[in-house]
Structure 1
């Protein structure tokens, strides 16, 4: 049985709650891309649907995973009720882990194809020194591996905060779904764990799990769409992704990473548009969060012609 919810909430920019302010800002910047899509030949509304959903594993027993496709059909969100791992001192000297295997069958619109370019992870972790938390995922789209279990989030204690991390696929090697097929299948194998750091066992404690705003761990699959026939593709056919890192002062410990994206008629214009959005976002975010540092990862952005 598929559990589907509309997770969108109103964004009150006057609210100073940092857990509400941050996702609201992200939504506004991503909205710009959706407006660009509306100005060109648009993906038909409500044409991308989940036809079936299965989950199994110690971290996602039956009826504990909620799924949702965003209104612009560019994000598949999964929210987990029971994906929580704890290390209770000497009671778990070697740590512990949970896993989850998910199969999603999708119905896609005729004349359109999509690719998956990144995965976002959101949650919270509370780790004592000498303990590390990890969140890793393997994703297979219609038989082709997009991410393997070497692509993972690592959080090393001491750490007590929410986290948001993104893992990007290689834009030069994106796999586009077949235009001939009406359906697609995504298999997702995930694992979260808390283990001793640099030791086989110890008496330290910690956990990795729940998102602070929703109370649950989240995983988001980010998609790109384009018409199957080149003559129907828009003039704004370049896309640039800039991965943003948010650090906590003064230790510069990574708290969040995510993408800001923009389109353009050329690689140069899409890069310029994306950097302008980054500059605007980081200024506004830093003004609201003076104890955080906002910057582009490795000072680089990546572009692709759609």
Structure 2
């Protein structure tokens, strides 16, 4: 089974609220409101929150970009757009400080793979995408991290139920490899909770 995971970028903004020393007590839940994109057909994405409320993760089960033998012309690019309703304990708000991506990639000599992503709250200008590139020959797990500058995460405005939007994309290019005789692929495709995209929360108390 093909395994892998792709990536995300972050924006900067200023929201002045008192800091929280630790994640809030109580339950944090996430509901997937909408899913769009060729990399995440219906019922192929699972989202969950860590028991300590420090992170949440997204697991994809059919997110693979490929070129070459067995691939369709449109398979070189796959993307996914998630709109998430994040419910947090009263008196707290959150931002995202870091995103960790993991997966598996197979690239023939001369081929390249690329992952990029971003995220933002509804009603806030979208951040620039951050991207990561791998070059063949390669046949291994891959890992990438995007971070926000210290002290500069975007926080959801206190008292406003704005959804969180997450965009990711995978691209594979044959480059100088021969797509008639070889196959290269990159995926966010796993049923293993240890192979997931992890989003790290930053918590703040609301006035």
Q: Does 1:74 align with 2:49?
A: no
Match of 1:178 among 146, 157, 162: 157
Q: 97-106 vs 206-215, which deviates more?
A: 206-215
Contact kept? 2:59, 2:191, Cα under 8 Å: no
**Matched residues, number:** 186
Alignment of 1:91-240 (within 5 A): 96-145=76-125, 147-149=127-129, 151-181=130-160, 183-197=161-175, 202-203=178-179, 204-209=182-187, 214=192, 218-229=196-207
Give 3-state SS (helix, strand or coil) of 1:173's partner: coil
Identify the residue that residue 37 of structure 2 maps to in structure 1. Answer: 57
- After superposition, the CA RMSD in angstroms is 2.9
Matches within 5 A, 1:243-254: none
User: Residue 81 of structure 2: SS of its match in structure 1?
Assistant: strand
Deviation track 1:162-214 (CA, whole Å, cap 9, x = no partner) reads 11211112234322222222x331111211111134x6x84353111156782
More helix, by proportion: 1
Counterpart position of 2:24: 43
| SS of 1:171 mapped into structure 2 | coil
Asked whether the 8 Å contact 1:131–1:205 carries over to 2, the reply is no
Change (3 A) 1:143 1:74: farther
Unaligned runs of 5+ in 1: 1-36, 230-306
Taking the aligned partners of 2:63 and 2:133, their CA distance within structure 1 comes to 16
The aligned counterpart of 1:244 is: none
Say which of 68, 76, 83 aligns to 1:88.
68
In the superposition, the TM-score normalised over structure 1's length comes to: 0.54
- Change in 2 beyond 3 A, CA 1:196/1:186: same
